[in-house]
Amino acid sequence: MSELLRHQVPSVRLRAALDIGTTSDPRDLDALLQRCAVEPDFQVREMLTWALIRLPASSTVPRLIEEVRFGGAQARSQALHTLSKIKDRAAWPVITASLVADPDDEVARSAWRAAVVLVPTGCEPRLAAMLATQLGRGEQDLQRSLSRALVALGSVIEPTVRAAASSPEDRVRAHAQATETLLHDPDAGFETALYEAKRVDALGVESTSR
């Protein structure tokens, strides 16, 4: 059945992943991980993740950690996504400062999302500090992902975000201020919060320069 994961038709690959997940045979672990590293179709990747989640965590988590540490960009991103679904905190040590700052945006985004799920109680301030190093990074969509990850940690992020709001870098200041807005008003849209933060920041800078 695992050979069908390589079929050229996405619907056939999707069905194969579904069937493998239904049988939950640990012998399929290698084939699932190998396909995760190269699968171009989003729906198929989600089904591969589901199939991996169905296997015993004692088998999958160590292999997923290995993928995060040594795999290519897609393998790492998909492994982090799967770890966030399994929610086994034994995977927490794989979340490092270098991973959070990974140059590949999708790997970094997946690391942020996994981190807030895997973080042990008491380690939230340290994670907030790690995530805050990425404030101002990328375009609006990536910034939104980081803000959501930070806000998911709760009020523990306030000192870190407020410090970042005084950064000499415009992008960092605005992103930090928008994140703080979302923390206190979860219903506020990120785009609106970021626009308002930039507007207020620009007015403040203009006022100071006079």
pLDDT in tens, 113-122: 999 999 999 9
Task: Give CA–CA dist 58/125, Å, rounded.
Answer: 28
Is residue 107 within 8 Å of residue 74, measured between CB atoms? no
Across 94-111, average pLDDT? 98
Across 146-156, average pLDDT? 97
Per-residue pLDDT for 187 more than 90? no
- Average pLDDT over the chain, rounded to an integer: 93
Task: Give CA–CA dist 108/112, Å, rounded.
Answer: 6
44 domain residue, yes or no: no
Per mean pLDDT, which range of 8-12, 24-28, 190-194 is the poorest? 190-194
Across 65-79, average pLDDT? 98
108 domain residue, yes or no: no
- Alpha-carbon Rg for the chain, nearest whole angstrom, is 20
143 domain residue, yes or no: yes
Handedness of CA 35, 41, 46, 51 (dihedral sign): negative
5 domain residue, yes or no: no
Per-residue pLDDT for 23 more than 70? yes
Helices 170-184, 190-209: axis angle to 10 degrees equals 130
Range of the domain at 160: 124-210
Closest CA to 53 of 83, 18, 90: 83
Per-residue pLDDT for 76 more than 70? yes
Cα–chain-centroid distance for residue 8?
29
pLDDT at 207: 40
pLDDT at 153: 97
pLDDT at 210: 40
Across 23-36, average pLDDT? 96
169 domain residue, yes or no: yes
Task: Give CA–CA dist 60/194, Å, rounded.
Answer: 39
170 domain residue, yes or no: yes
168 domain residue, yes or no: yes
Per-residue pLDDT for 41 more than 80? yes
Q: Percentage helix, strand, coil, to 5, in the chain? A: 75, 0, 25
Q: How does pLDDT run across 157-182, given as a tens digit for each residue? A: 999 999 999 999 999 999 999 999 99
2 domain residue, yes or no: no
Instruction: With 0.95 as the threshold, say if the pTM is over it.
Output: no
The percent of residues in the chain predicted with pLDDT above 70, rounded, is 96
Domains held by the chain: number: 1
